[in-house]
Structure 1
């Protein structure tokens, strides 16, 4: 891809994140283009429709989550609980609320569904490891940990220091 085309694509994605975060996923594509400082035609040359743009954002978010999680998991000096907490913190800066809503209506987007399954497997592995190390409550199944964490971080406005995330992590921590 040419450098100017790549720059335009990046502008569109950044603008879409801003506009969709502010107005929801039904926000006008015209507004996304205006926010990016580009024509609507330029936007549609990169993304044929809103769904393609949203899927791109969701795929990027889950790919980022997985890359971060794998890198953090590879650190031998960190406990699985520490890695899990760092991964939860990282999740709060990703557009996971938008991604979660897309996954509920995913239909035929195989790559996105595969990334979601991989991220669930990563969280499950970390939860199981944290339980074995004695840092995560043993009475909560790793699959349930994923559900609880999804509720905390896959919502608009999630922040690492907000009360819901803090309470969830405190509740999962072994005493």
Structure 2
């Protein structure tokens, strides 16, 4: 697996690049050598705190990907937490990935240990509701009034189904379909 480390809002030292690359080396046995992991390190200020953020993005075949993001006040701690999270994610979803990518050689499943907590995804509730035409700002207001983290609506301008959601940074995101 190739590793591409970039920095956003900060200059990267060789020490942090080497730390990230050495931590991701242990995942070489899980992926083919032509897979490229994109690692983005950034710095931001939130609520009078300096936050060090790492995002690891590993694209797979068929437009699927594995993505983790962690943040803390120390970049090395953020890297270590993200690596742990990535490992847990791969192990936890091994069976689901294996079923989906059987016949593809993107991931080497024999190298991934089996999870003790094989989780079966089960839909326990189905909800139907009318999807009213509105603009994204009205959808955000509806979402806030309901106390939800996301809201599905029909965009009055485009007549397509959209989703607004609350982001971790306190702002809002809009998901539009792309074909």
Q: What TM-score range do you get, normalising by the shorter chain?
A: under 0.3
- The structure that has the greater radius of gyration is 2
Q: TM-score scaled by structure 2? A: 0.25
Q: Name which structure has the greater RCO, CA cutoff 8 Å, separation 6+.
A: 1
Bigger strand share: 2
Bigger helix share: 1
Q: TM-score scaled by structure 1? A: 0.25
